[in-house]
Structure 1
Amino acid sequence: MSKTILEDAIQEELSFFLQAIHECVHTDFNCNRVLNNAVANIISSVVSGKRFEYTDPLFVKFMKCLDENIRNIGTANVLNVLPIVRYLPGDLFKFKQTLRNISMIDKEIIRPFIEDNRNNYDDSNVTNFTSAYIKAIQQRRQEGQNTNMSDGNLETCLRDLFIAGSETTATVLRWGLVYFLNYPDVQEKCFQEILENVGQSRRPSMKDKTSLPYVEATVTEILRCADIIPSSLPHSVPHDVEFRGYTFPEGITVLPMLSSALHDPDLWGDPRNFRPDRFLDTEGKFQKMNEHIPFSLGHRACLGEALARMELFLFTTSMIQEFEFRPVDGVSPSLQGLPGIVYRPQQFNMKAIPRAK
């Protein structure tokens, strides 16, 4: 699957997303739902070639289940440590609700996606993850190769992609709006750069990225400051590893603390300050820093990093090109987040003012 296919899916969804924002102009509104809908629809397009209308009853039901499961993950993880608690009366740890939601998502979303792609499969027109997976299975079988690829494995992949690819990107975009509302000078500087290099007659594309270094620096700083998954996910080592005088035995669980790099005062100087300029060199060009690892690093880094970075750039540039975002009654939202499976901002309302053209 090419980057063009991914960008096309994002640009298509952006049209619906921006229209939804236009319907809320000059009013106080909460962006959570429309952002979640847009990002989930991009994942849907990428994995199945299908998008939903935001008011589609099935999509509304799906988003409700997805949101509940993401919020329940932290509580349900108690069962990994104390599995016996699942037999307690009631549903104190939301385990039963989580299973019901997974069943609904599998039965009404994931399996129909797979069936639809199989029924309409065209070997010469593979344009989404599901059809690519089906093609890979068929090729291996034709070549007589043993493979563990299966419909069951595909279902798990699609479920993981929806969970991992929806909430995380939408959360970073919400944090971006929080920082723009707290730092209107950064928002205005981003707009001026977009105005000078892209204009307002067309929507920004990935080809514009090199000419928008301050915007890229701002997105990079949002990722660093938001730090939405401070401790990453559990990993293990395949063999004994010696590190700084310690021995990590084979199979030991390792929990990488990404915050230790993203907020290290020795690296950043003022890590708690939101300062996009730290990613610009003396000539004003974007400079990448190896210590910036919000997607982790190495062979087990986030597999959706390329898609997420593309979404963050295109959504940020398109939103700022189209609207000026202002806090309600001049009161900016809190920069203190809420802990959970992802570190997310507190609920907030805002105003979207269309830019003069």
Structure 2
Amino acid sequence: MSISFLFVPCLVSFIFIICLVLLCKKDVSEKGKDGLRSIPSPWAWPVIGNLPDLVWAGYKPEELMMKWMRRYGQIFSFQLGFQSVIVLNSYGLIKKAWHHPKLQNRAAPLVYIKALGPGKGLTFANGEEWKQCRTFVLNMFRNFGVGKKGFEEVVRNEGDKLVKEICRQGHVLDVSYIFSMSSCNIISKLVFNQQLEYTDPNLQEQVATVLKHFQLAGPGSLNSMTPIFAHFRIGPGQRIVNNYKVMKRLWCKQIQDHIKKGENSEHEDILDVYLAELQKHLSAGTKTQFKMHNLLWLLRDLYLAGTETTSTTLKWAVLYLAAHPEKQRKCHEELDKEFSQDCVLSYADRTKLPYVNAFIMETLRLGDILPLGVAHEAAEDVILEQYLIPKGTIVTSNIRAVSMDANIFPDPENFNPERFLTADGNYKAIEEMMPFGVGKRICLGEQIARIELFLWITRLLKMFEIKIADKTVPDISRASTGLVRSPLPFKVEFAER
């Protein structure tokens, strides 16, 4: 076979590949156009974009984003297939972007739509639909006592159950599962008006499906965000769908039980009120976002956001307490000075415990459970500090780049609660801390999470001295990255004080 005979098909194939490369490598802003600056980006493969980079980085997107940040600066873009993703790496850019009216949208991943059907819930709703859902959730939190003494009592009771479970399991344990049950029970109380025992199969199944989702979603939600995974009947996308079927079965049973109570029954939880609003609009024939498919999405949002985020932060807190006994001793000394052993703390008591507060904030900073935040989508073409962000582009915030910025947090790799204290020992806030996000779409459950963290951590500190169980301190600089950034598996000993 002659060389000339092979030349033509090889040339055509080469040109085709080059065209694909150029298509994938297309800058998301054109250099020099109307004075705009070009957004730098790493080289991307045809069709699949930068997915191989994520694989080669060991599925640790936060580490890859930090590497690219050091190379490209405060803003860069990369490709997930044909989808452009822009990453913001400075507090100033993130704050400006998340306050921009045209950067408030969020796109529901195709795999979630495949699993739950049409709907948006709260996390992925946009425009007026998001405003209505946000108002409803905030009103429900307020109506069912969040921020009031009654809700604090619910959280304290759950803290008591947590302590009893630790003692029942023999004081030496991996805390991952029981922390998830604690936080899941608080959401269950708000949504379904139930707090179950840790041995209850229903609670165990709820927690198991939530934990499985956080694992299946992949590092930085990669498996759920990559559109192509939604089109296959096997693989990570289908596993997410199958897990959602279990969640839907649990939720639909609760919905049916609430419907059976009847319209005139007292509204005891968020689900009662939602169903009443849905029926009211159905009877009146008015247009509304209160729909059954939106209800499933809202339940998804409340359970996923309210369960594993708090429990993962608690895991980091316990690990840091055990790994830094000198910090734990300072927490104990402050608690013992201000309160007797049998004193019941309230959330208002945090003002008397500046060091404990500083410890919690440093846990949120270094634990950094959502290192890439929650992605937004440009509703229109947006110019952000001379960078063009085209309509439909995904934009995400590199929270880790801020929390590890030595200009803001000196010696950022070191666990140092004192950075949140003034010279005379009072607590000081640092503006660049944004564990619950920033801007219009800040986490609505922030107050719930702060109450849980304060009351449960102080409860554990008053009751126990926490030690590494096997005398070998795990590498706290490493983490397991799924939908959230979690510490590697470890066991601790809860020694009664």
Q: TM-score, normalised by structure 2?
A: 0.66
Residue in structure 2 matching 1:327, options 442, 456, 468: 468
**Structure 2 vs 1, CA of residues 79 and 235 (structure 1 numbering), >3 Å: closer, same or farther?**
closer
**Structure 1 CA distance for aligned equivalents of residues 423 and 277 of structure 2:** 48
Larger Rg: 2
**How far off is 1:146 after superposition?**
2.2
- Residue 348 of structure 1 corresponds to 490
1:37 lines up with 2:181 in the alignment? yes
- Residue 438 of structure 2 corresponds to 297
- Residue 12 of structure 1 corresponds to 157
- Residue 70 of structure 1 corresponds to 214
**Structure 1 CA distance for aligned equivalents of residues 379 and 422 of structure 2:** 39
The answer as to whether partners of 1:79 and 1:86 remain within 8 angstroms in 2 is no
**Structure 2 vs 1, CA of residues 102 and 313 (structure 1 numbering), >3 Å: closer, same or farther?**
same
**Structure 2 vs 1, CA of residues 80 and 214 (structure 1 numbering), >3 Å: closer, same or farther?**
same
**Structure 2 CA distance for aligned equivalents of residues 296 and 100 of structure 1:** 30
1:23 lines up with 2:165 in the alignment? no
Q: Flag structure 1 segments of 5+ consecutive residues without an equivalent.
A: none
The answer as to whether partners of 1:9 and 1:46 remain within 8 angstroms in 2 is no
Q: Give me the CA root mean square deviation.
A: 2.3
Question: SS in structure 1 opposite 2:218?
Answer: helix
Question: SS in structure 1 opposite 2:465?
Answer: strand
The answer as to whether partners of 2:216 and 2:482 remain within 8 angstroms in 1 is no
Question: SS in structure 1 opposite 2:160?
Answer: helix
The answer as to whether partners of 2:229 and 2:235 remain within 8 angstroms in 1 is no
Q: TM-score, normalised by structure 1?
A: 0.90
**Structure 2 vs 1, CA of residues 119 and 199 (structure 1 numbering), >3 Å: closer, same or farther?**
farther
- Residue 128 of structure 2 corresponds to none
**Structure 2 vs 1, CA of residues 269 and 85 (structure 1 numbering), >3 Å: closer, same or farther?**
same
Q: 1:150-171 CA distances to partner (integer Å, 9 max, x unpaired)?
A: 2221121112211222111111
Question: SS in structure 2 opposite 1:325?
Answer: strand
1:82 lines up with 2:228 in the alignment? yes
- Residue 101 of structure 1 corresponds to 243
Question: SS in structure 2 opposite 1:321?
Answer: helix
The answer as to whether partners of 1:79 and 1:85 remain within 8 angstroms in 2 is no
**Structure 2 CA distance for aligned equivalents of residues 57 and 172 of structure 1:** 25
Q: 1:85-116 CA distances to partner (integer Å, 9 max, x unpaired)?
A: 614xxx442x4443232122212x21232333
- Residue 199 of structure 1 corresponds to 340
Q: Flag structure 2 segments of 5+ consecutive residues without an equivalent.
A: 1-141
Matches within 5 A, 1:307-322: 307-322=448-463
- Residue 429 of structure 2 corresponds to 288
Question: SS in structure 2 opposite 1:82?
Answer: helix
* 1:65 alignment partner AA: T
**Structure 2 CA distance for aligned equivalents of residues 277 and 110 of structure 1:** 44
- Residue 192 of structure 2 corresponds to 48
Q: 1:126-156 CA distances to partner (integer Å, 9 max, x unpaired)?
A: 4432223234445656777421212221121
**Structure 2 vs 1, CA of residues 24 and 153 (structure 1 numbering), >3 Å: closer, same or farther?**
same
**Structure 2 CA distance for aligned equivalents of residues 41 and 99 of structure 1:** 24
- Residue 165 of structure 1 corresponds to 306
- Residue 414 of structure 2 corresponds to 273
**Structure 1 CA distance for aligned equivalents of residues 165 and 243 of structure 2:** 27
